[in-house]
Structure 1
Amino acid sequence: MRVVKYHWNLRQLMADRGLYATTDLLPLLADRGIELSASQAFRLVTGTPERLSLPIMAALCDALACEPSELFEPYAVAAKARTRRAAGETKSSPADLKRPTPARIVKE
């Protein structure tokens, strides 16, 4: 199985164009009809978004004069093969487990 991930390059594209503060992006997006708060812009620039609307993507590409493929680069990695275990089975094999010693009841 393959897992698809992506590199988010917004910060690098901004730096290439001389935009170093996350708030530098706000007027560029506002000129294109996208109103974001300073905290939303900060998260967009410093993080890797899981969801992004197409109007914001289009505004970013227009403001930074780039293509979507420059903004994010998808790549695939091989996922670890998962093995199935029977119900109640633990990570160690049953042969590795020691049985508890039975308690002895002593009358005094």
Structure 2
Amino acid sequence: MKRHVEYTWRLRELMAARGMYNISDIIPHLEDRGVSLSSSQIYRLIGDTPERMNLALLGALLDALDCTFEQLCPMTVVAVPTRDRLSGTEAGAVNKGAIRPTRARIHRPE
């Protein structure tokens, strides 16, 4: 079994809980903490789930919203089942003693 980490991004919900409904509401809070982002960057940050983030930005968000990382980005680890059998060329590579078919030869009629 493989393990896969899933997470959700709750920045919009936490902003709304603190009375911040627009992009312009969070910009001064981030600038007070030394993080300056354009409005388009903040729009993407609020609307989409980020795959990577600067730790200074993450710290500024946590401080500005007065929340923990678990509240901002709850994570769950899910076990993903793996295949037990090999198929296709992988199975052939494992079983080297198997009989291989001979290549067909096509001749033109004369």
Give the TM-score normalised by the residue count of structure 1.
0.74
Q: How many residues align?
A: 93
> Is residue 41 from structure 1 mapped to residue 42 from structure 2 by the alignment?
yes
Q: Secondary structure at the match of 1:8?
A: coil
Comparing 79-88 and 30-39, the one that deviates more: 79-88
For 2:36, what is the secondary structure of its paired residue?
coil
Which deviations, in whole Å up to 9, do the C-alpha atoms of 1:65-93 show, x marking residues without a partner?
1111111111112224245322299xxxx
Taking the TM superposition and a 5 Å limit, the aligned residue runs for 1:1-108 are 1-82=2-83, 84-87=86-89
| Poorly superposed stretches of 4+, deviation over 4 Å | none
Residue type matched to 1:29 in 2? L
Task: State the Cα distance separating 1:42 from its structure 2 match.
Answer: 0.6
Tell me by how many angstroms 1:25 deviates: 1.4
The question of whether the paired residues in 2 share the 8 Å contact of 1:6 and 1:75 is answered with: yes
Query: CA shift at 1:52, angstroms?
Result: 0.9
Amino acid in the other structure paired with 2:41: Q
TM-score (norm 2): 0.73
After superposition, the Cα gap between the structure-2 partners of 1:43 and 1:88, relative to the gap in structure 1 and judged at 3 Å, is same
